[in-house]
């Protein structure tokens, strides 16, 4: 645990909920740092894998490129001229391959690239 995490966890005036929230926040930040280091250390391998999974000019690559964390499946479909169910099938494949994740942001289900 970082020094900040230890300090936060030792504070007596915080409620148990605040304490747990602070610890979880520290864990999340640590995991994000580990993820960044891992991606940086394996960038060449990740790019090779991505090129293999996303053939140049394919509809799969176009959908992946549109997964910027702001668009819903319907919005992606509107851009590429396909319906949401068509896009959902590709999003499912991209998720299984570890290329994207689906998250809720501002009450909307959007898709963002992981690598």
Q: Return the domain boundaries, the chain.
A: 3-41, 44-113
Asked if the model's pLDDT at residue 3 lies above 70, the reply is no
Contacts by residues 61-66 (CB-CB < 8 Å, ≥ 24 positions apart): 63/87, 63/90, 63/91, 63/94, 64/94, 64/99, 64/100, 64/113
Q: Quick one: pLDDT at residue 15?
A: 87
Q: Span 24-42, mean pLDDT?
A: 91
CATH 1.10.10.10 fits 44-113, yes or no: yes
Q: What angle do CA 115, 73, 90 make, to 5 degrees?
A: 60
Burial of residue 31 (CB within 10 Å: 0-12, 13-18, 19+) is exposed
pLDDT at 39 over 70: yes
Mean pLDDT rounded to a whole number for the chain: 90
Tens digits of residue pLDDT in 72-108:
999 999 999 999 999 999 999 999 999 999 999 999 9
CA dist 50 and 43 (Å) reads 10
């Amino acid at each position: 645990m970082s020094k900040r995490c230890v300090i936060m966890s030792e504070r007596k005036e915080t409620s148990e909920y605040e304490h747990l929230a602070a610890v979880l926040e520290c864990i999340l930040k640590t995991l994000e740092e580990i993820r960044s280091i891992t991606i940086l250390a394996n960038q060449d391998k990740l790019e090779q894998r991505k090129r293999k999974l996303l053939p140049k000019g394919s509809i799969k690559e176009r959908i992946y490129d549109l997964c910027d964390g702001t668009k819903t499946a319907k919005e992606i479909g509107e851009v590429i001229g396909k319906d949401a169910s068509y896009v959902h099938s590709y999003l499912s494949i991209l998720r299984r391959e570890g290329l994207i994740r689906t998250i809720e942001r501002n009450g909307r289900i959007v898709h963002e690239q992981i690598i």
